[in-house]
Amino acid sequence: MNEKKKNRGWVKNVAIIFLVVLLFLTFFSNTIMNRSLPEVSVKYAESGSITTQIRGTGTIEAVDTYQVTIKESRKIKSVAVSPGQQVAAGDLLFVLSEGDSDELAAAKEALETLELSYQKALITNEAEYDYTRQERAITKLEKQINETDALRRDYLVSAEVYKKATDAVKTAEDAVNVAQVKYDQAAKDLKAAESDFEVVSPGNTDGGAVTAAMNALEAARKALSDAENTLETNTLLYGAHYTIVENAAKSEIMASDEYLTLTTDSEREAFINQKLGVYMDYVVTRDHKGTDIETSYNTLTANKKAVADAKAAVNSAKAALDNAVVNQQAGNQNQLNYLYYLQNLEGAKATEEVMAKLLSDAKKTLENAKGEVSALDEKKDSYKKYTDTIEGLQENLEDAKFELEQQKKEDEKAQKLTALDMQALRNDIAKARENVEKISTGTAGGEIYSEVNGIVKSVNITSGGMTEYNQTLAAIEVVDRGYCATMSVTAEQAKKVTVGDFANVSTGWWGGSDITARLTSVRNDPANPREKRLLVFDISGGGVESGTQISLSIGERSRSYDVIVPNSALRSDANGDFVYIVTAKPSPLGNRYSATRIDVQVLAKDDVNAAVSGGISAYDYVITTSTKPIENNMLIRMAES
């Protein structure tokens, strides 16, 4: 509570100032606001009628104005009429001075020049056309062609002959190829035969060894036979002894422990045969030593050995014999081979010689055929050379003929052109002559007369003045054709009038006149053909004078409308026509007024008012004028008046 308080006095001052300012502004706010608002004049929208009239101005002109012209330069001696004067057809207008005019002198000179040119042209164009040189050249070329053709015929080779020759070459080539193949094969066979012959030998054909072997075999066979005979004898002789020993030996064998273990008969028999010899020796040495049995047994045994040896000798002799036979057979085979290859070699040599001869003959035939074809080719080349020569000559002949034709055509064309030029010259001369005659006779002895009835509108030359070619000397309005006036209006306005309508005419601010205007046609205005039309009036009545400015009003169609506003209230922009109406808005200080835009469509319009339709009703206030530009919803101030 005792803390020092901040000084807040400024806040109070600010608050006071703030409130005073606001109070001040509030007091003057209406005044300030009204100053800034645009002041507008308003008018009631009313219902009523509108009379549509099209107004405009035009100048009275004569429908037809005759221009008095002169075609030569002459001096005017006197002028017989003055502007505003009425003249009749045949009345004198101008008198000209004596003498040729410059135009007549010039025309005569031109005529003379043309005539001279024509005479020169006649001499110049007398040309002759000679084609002898070209025709001689053509004849010479034709002769050369014929001579060359005669030479060419000697070298003509028919296609059939040439084909036969070429076929013969081809056949010979085939024969050479076949002979070559056969020769190559024969040479190859000869080489193979030579190779085979080199490796074989004649072979050994001696039969002495065989004979010796056969003899040895015979001896061995004889020894065997003897040994077998001895054995047979001794076997018969000592057979009994042997049987005794044999039986004893069998009994021994059969009594042995080993035999007793055997179970089958075959095993027992094999065992007996195996052990029989040993046991027999054992039985003899044990039981029959020194006896006959021992002797018989030993003899028999010896005989058996001798037989076995003899058999071995026989087998050995057989083997030697077989060997000798084999050697003899091998020697015979080598001999045969030798002879065979020798024969082959001789045959191959003979074949190779035959084939070589055949090949040589075929090659000769081929050479001959080729030589024939080569000769034919040479003839053909010659023939072609002559042909080329003939073609060249024919080409030259064609060129010569073409040149001749072209020359003839050009000459013909030149002749035609010359004829045309001459004709043109003749025409020019005729025209120049006419011109001279026309100028000579145009002024009718130096006076100019009127050709129409009318009023002289203007005179463009005075006495003593020089005329120029085609100069207008005077203009005469043709009274008989009447007067007209034109008025430019919009296309929309033009729709409201019809041909035959009469327009009100006034000639000045002081009032009307006796002049009547009747609409005769409606045309496009050349100045703006899309939007504008020209109303053409026929002007009649008293006091009609060309050049008079008149005011025209046409169209009298009165109609009632619900809403009519002053033209000054109508505004338009890109969105079309519109008016601003006054809208009141209550506020604490009374009503505030604002401008509200209402889009309208103009139905009819006269000089003062326009009938409109849209969101506007009768007795709405429409703004006609304002002191500042106004916009939609802008606050406005009503004019006090």
Nearer of residues 22 and 420 to another protein, judged by Cβ: 22
Contact at 8 Å (CB) between 73 and 442? no
Residue 32 binds another protein (CB under 8 A): yes
Q: At its nearest, how many Å lie between another protein and the CB of residue 489? A: 40
Return the number of the residue (31 or 124) whose C-beta is nearest another protein.
31
Query: Could you say which of 202, 256, 633, 639 contacts another protein (CB under 8 A)?
Result: 633
Q: Which range of residues in 12-20, 341-349, 389-397, 491-499 is near another protein by CB under 8 A?
A: 12-20
Question: Smallest gap, in angstroms, from Cβ of residue 61 to another protein?
Answer: 56
Q: What distance in Å separates the CA atoms of residue 279 and residue 476, rounded to the nearest whole number?
A: 199
Nearer to another protein, 12 or 530 (CB): 12
Which CB sits closer to another protein, 13 or 572?
A: 13
Nearer to another protein, 32 or 105 (CB): 32
> At its nearest, how many Å lie between another protein and the CB of residue 577?
23
Query: Which listed residue (20, 29, 202, 414) binds another protein by CB under 8 A?
Result: 29
Q: What is the DSSP letter of 131?
A: -
Nearer to another protein, 303 or 594 (CB): 594
CB of 23 to another protein, least distance (A): 8
CA distance 106 to 436: 9
Q: How far apart are CA 111 and CA 462, in angstroms?
A: 33
- Which of 272, 273, 294, 274 lies closest to 283 in space, CA to CA? 294
| Shortest distance (Å) from residue 498 CB to another protein | 48
Stretch touching another protein by CB under 8 A, among 14-22, 285-293, 326-334, 371-379: 14-22
Cα gap 354→366, rounded to integer Å: 19
Cα(63)–Cα(483) distance, rounded to whole angstroms? 5
Q: Which residue's CB is nearer to another protein, number 542 or number 586?
A: 586
Q: Which of 134, 136, 133 is nearest to 400 (CA)?
A: 134
- Residue of 26, 274, 360, 528 that binds another protein (CB under 8 A): 26
Residue 302 binding another protein, by CB under 8 A: no
CA 155, chain centre distance (Å): 53
**Residue pair 454/66 in contact by the 8 Å Cβ criterion:** yes
Near another protein in 582-611, by CB under 8 A? 586-589, 592
Beta strands 590-605 and 635-638: pairing type?
Answer: antiparallel
Nearer to another protein, 14 or 330 (CB): 14
Site string for another protein, 550-589 (x = CB under 8 A): ------------------------------------xxxx
Interface with another protein by CB under 8 A: which range of 22-30, 54-62, 267-275, 614-622? 22-30
The residue among 11 and 260 lying less far from another protein, judged by its C-beta, is 11
Count of chain residues binding another protein (CB under 8 A)? 26
Tell the burial category of 64 from Cβ atoms under 10 Å away from its Cβ (0-12, 13-18, 19+): middle
CB–CB of 594/630 below 8 Å?
no
Tokens 């505004």 locate to 571
Q: Which is nearer to another protein, 39 or 447 (CB)?
A: 39
State the minimum distance, in angstroms, from the CB of residue 554 to another protein: 47
For the bound state, the minimum distance from the C-beta of residue 631 to another protein, rounded and expressed in Å, comes to 12
CB 97 within 8 A of CB 75: yes
Residues forming beta bridges with residue 609, ordered by sequence position: 566
36 binds another protein (CB under 8 A): yes
Of 18 and 469, nearer to another protein (C-beta) is 18
Stretch that binds another protein, among 31-39, 56-64, 99-107, 133-141 (CB under 8 A): 31-39
Closest listed residue to residue 173, CA positions, set 302, 409, 363? 363
Q: Residue 620 CB, nearest distance to another protein (Å)?
A: 22
We find the least distance from the C-beta atom of residue 578 to another protein, in angstroms, to be 19
Query: Closest approach of Cβ 614 to another protein, in Å?
Result: 20
Burial 279-290 (b: 16+ CB within 10 A, else e): bbeebbeeebee
By CB under 8 A, residue 30 contacts another protein: yes
Least separation in angstroms between residue 6's CB and another protein is 7
Helix, strand, coil percentages for the chain (3-state, nearest 5) = 55, 25, 20
Hey, what are 523's tokens? 């045309």
Span near another protein by CB under 8 A; candidates 19-27, 457-465, 510-518, 564-572: 19-27
Task: Single out the residue of 2, 12, 261, 470 in contact with another protein (rule: CB under 8 A).
Answer: 12
Rounded-to-integer distance, Cα 568 and Cα 625, Å: 7
Taking the least distance from each CB to another protein, the nearer of 450 and 626 is: 626
Structure tokens at 177: 């190829």
Residue where the block lists tokens 């057989």: 318
Joined together, the tokens standing for residue 363 give 């090659």
Among residues 597, 612, 601, the alpha carbon closest in space to that of 562 is found at 612
Collapsing DSSP states into helix, strand and coil, what is residue 191? helix
The residue among 505, 560, 564 whose CA lies nearest residue 537 is 505
Q: Which of residues 330-359 bind another protein (CB under 8 A)?
A: none
Q: How far is the CB of 536 from another protein (least distance, A)?
A: 50
CA distance 623 to 632: 12
Q: Minimum distance from CB of 583 to another protein (Å)? A: 14
Whether 40 and 71 have beta carbons less than 8 Å apart is answered as: no
- Count of Cβ atoms closer than 10 Å to residue 175 Cβ: 18
Cβ atoms of 570 and 624 within 8 Å: the answer is: no
Stretch binding another protein (CB under 8 A), from 21-29, 132-140, 294-302, 618-626: 21-29
Other CB atoms closer than 10 Å to residue 296's CB: what's the count? 21
The stretch near another protein (CB under 8 A) out of 6-14, 68-76, 281-289, 531-539 is 6-14
Return the residues of window 458-517 that contact another protein according to CB under 8 A. Answer: none
Question: Toward another protein, which CB reaches closer, 25 or 326?
Answer: 25
Residue in this structure with the two tokens 């010689």, named with its chain if needed: 353
Q: 14 vs 326, which CB is nearer to another protein?
A: 14
- 20 forms part of the interface with another protein (CB under 8 A): no
Q: How far apart are the first and last CA of the chain?
A: 68
CA atoms in the 13 A half-sphere facing the CB of 367: 6
What is the footprint of another protein within residues 44-73 (CB under 8 A)? none
Residue type, 69: T
Q: Quote the least distance from Cβ 532 to another protein, whole Å.
A: 37
Query: Site residues (CB under 8 A) for another protein?
Result: 1, 5-6, 8, 11-12, 14-15, 18-19, 22-23, 25-26, 29-30, 32-33, 36, 586-589, 592, 633, 635
